[in-house]
Structure 1
């Protein structure tokens, strides 16, 4: 009887911890200040783009997107005060708006920016309006066309809850085996 009681308590603690830990982590990162800017804001497939990231502590990181050929390796000095910068190329054969995910401070920051990939087949026939420089601040809105959307907080919570349920099942099974052997 005592063994079953201990097993049930331990399994209950595992389930509570599984549900509580990701929630705290999600709150800490939902309101983080990491932002990514891609220059130019709209690029053609095959073009090289510059990625500038603010809000990361440390001096290195990576920026990835379904639009990029490979991750942009970000470097800089004291990411808390200054931006981290890197460059990468836009993949050929893609068009649309893609989310940018930045990995720094030991974890990913998903959807902290977007990059617009458009075909630039035609040259302008009139003067281009000056002023913006093409470096617009990227938004955090989720893109329906985003190809790169790794597991998020929701997936972590589900995984931990399932692990807790598995722990409860193992505890019950071990109690039943002990009963049979007694």
Structure 2
């Protein structure tokens, strides 16, 4: 009996080990550093890598010498402001614009250090199939607009309904009569 929970735990450990450590990574090398061109590397990770429009993403910036950074993207609703994370590096949360187009969008981050280090990454906005009307909507009058072009036929109760109603009425009459007879007998005793 205890082997089933143990099996699920083992599967969870294997799945966690096989999952990628960060969903999206972008490295900047010597070409993207401004200032000294020292060749320092900064890594930007985006989680989740494919958010829906209106969703939020967590951004993590490692190896930035400053304590602040600013990130911008055409997919973001506003600028992402990085601040120190508890475990080192910088962290920011960004909201994806509700009208962001599906596809890849570049993220540019500028570190607030002496070098003005820049890095870039990518966020892929997912197409979650927004609900849009595909044809004119027949509305108004409580939905009667669709019925104006069609002949409306309403069938009343048929023969089956009439028979069922008569049978139920007969059962009710018999039940009331049976109850009266029982009360009279118990009252006379």
TM-score of the aligned structures, taking structure 2 as reference length: 0.44
From the CA coordinates, give the structure whose radius of gyration is larger.
2
- Higher relative CO (Cα under 8 Å, sequence separation at least 6) belongs to 1
TM-score of the aligned structures, taking structure 1 as reference length: 0.45
